Structure 1
Amino acid sequence: MSASVKSSPLGLTVLTLLHHRPLHPYGIQRLLKQWGKEQVVNVGQRAGLYRTIERLQAGGLITVRQTERDQQYPERTVYEVTDEGRAVTREWLEQMLSAPKAEFPLFPAALSNMLMLNPDEVAPILEQRAARLAAQRADLERPFTEAPTGLPRITLIENEYLLAVLDAEQRWLHGVISDLRDGTLTWSPEMLATFQEAGSGDASRD
């Protein structure tokens, strides 16, 4: 039955949280934010969380433990992980840790079409990105500065990884901006047209 449930970062994280104790959706969302998981899973919209919970329940990975009724709050359904859910959690975790997956983030797609703009237009746009990366770095570093002394490294390991990736992007981005500013990296419609004509000629000889 679990084969019908597609793995996802949010699904894995929900299952992991339910390993600790049964929770209702609001409790899951609150813990996701308290533990800083919004850096690695999309929890911006509660509707997405509810859809994930519905898929996990339909696949037999979680089940309803009880329904809480309190005069101060609407009725809340509390979920717990099933034995099958525990097995699938481990399976998904091992797959995600061991096997790189082809992903299609926005930035590389935009870079591949950057030639639609001219170099003078691109440089200030990338400088805006560099400034936003600097702000993102501050957000990622905050948990390290605010963490209690002696906190195990494993609790912030995802921030450590994201900072390493961000470091690499910042170094690369500053290099590209520098090359754009000094003319080392440049292009023009004429240059691209010449390249396309040469490519068309090679294809016609095949």
Structure 2
Amino acid sequence: MSASVKSSPLGLTVLTLLHYRPLHPYGIQRLLKQWGKEQVVNVGQRTGLYRTIERLQAGGLIAVRQTERDQQYPERTVYEVTDEGRTATREWLEQMLAVPKAEFPLFPAALSNMLMLSPDEVAPILERRAGRLAAQRADMEAQLAEAPTGLPRITLIENEYLLAVLGAEERWLRGVIGELRDGSLTWSPEMLTAFQEASGPGAAGA
């Protein structure tokens, strides 16, 4: 049955949390934030978490453990991972670790259409992005610096990866901005038109 449930970052994280102990949705969301997992999974909207839980339950990967009733809180359903869910967790984790996936993020798509603007227009736009990346990197570095002394490295390994990715993108971006500013990276409608004509079906040697 697990094959019918599509893997997702949030689904994997929910299953992993339930390996430690049964939890209700609010407890799952609270732990995700406490452990800093909002850096890697989208937990901003509780409806998304509930949909994921419903999908995991329908696929037999989690099951209702009990229903908690307390006068101070609404009725809460507590979930636990099933044996099939434990198997799926390992399968999903191995797949996500081993196989790069084409995720089609926004930025490369925008870069591929950047020629719609002029180099002079693009440079300040990319500088704004570089500034935001620098701020994100500084914030993440501060978070890592504030981590408790002696905390096992594995508990923050995803932050380490994200920090490396941010740094690499920022360095690349600064290089591109420099090339735009000194004119070594440039284009124009005339240049692009000439290239299209030269490489079209009627071009010599085509």
Indicate the residue corresponding to 1:74 in structure 2.
Answer: 74
Q: What secondary structure does 1:64 align onto? A: strand
Cα distance change, pair 32–193 in 1 and its aligned pair in 2 (3 A): same
Cα distance change, pair 78–203 in 1 and its aligned pair in 2 (3 A): farther
Tell me how far apart the structure 2 counterparts of residues 90 and 50 of structure 1 sit (CA, whole Å).
22
The percent identity for this pair of structures is 85
Amino acid at match of 1:82: T
Give the CA deviation at 1:142: 2.6
Tell me how far apart the structure 2 counterparts of residues 202 and 151 of structure 1 sit (CA, whole Å).
65
For residues 30-45 of structure 1, the aligned pairs below 5 Å read: 30-45=30-45
Return 5+ residue gaps in structure 2 as ranges: none
For residues 56-205 of structure 1, the aligned pairs below 5 Å read: 56-201=56-201
Amino acid at match of 1:5: V
Indicate the residue corresponding to 1:27 in structure 2.
Answer: 27
Amino acid at match of 1:31: L
Give the alignment's TM-score, normalised by structure 2. 0.96
Residues 32 and 38 in structure 2, CA contact (< 8 A), matched pair in contact too: yes
RMSD: 1.3
Q: What secondary structure does 1:10 align onto? A: helix
Cα distance change, pair 24–119 in 1 and its aligned pair in 2 (3 A): same
Give the alignment's TM-score, normalised by structure 1. 0.96
Tell me how far apart the structure 1 counterparts of residues 182 and 122 of structure 2 sit (CA, whole Å).
13
Cα distance change, pair 30–204 in 1 and its aligned pair in 2 (3 A): farther
Return 5+ residue gaps in structure 1 as ranges: none
Give the CA deviation at 1:100: 1.1
Q: What secondary structure does 1:22 align onto? A: coil
Tell me how far apart the structure 2 counterparts of residues 94 and 139 of structure 1 sit (CA, whole Å).
30
Give the CA deviation at 1:44: 1.4
Deviations 1:65-98 (A, max 9, x none): 1111111111111100001101110111011111
Deviations 1:168-206 (A, max 9, x none): 101100000001111111111000100111111457865
Aligned length: 206
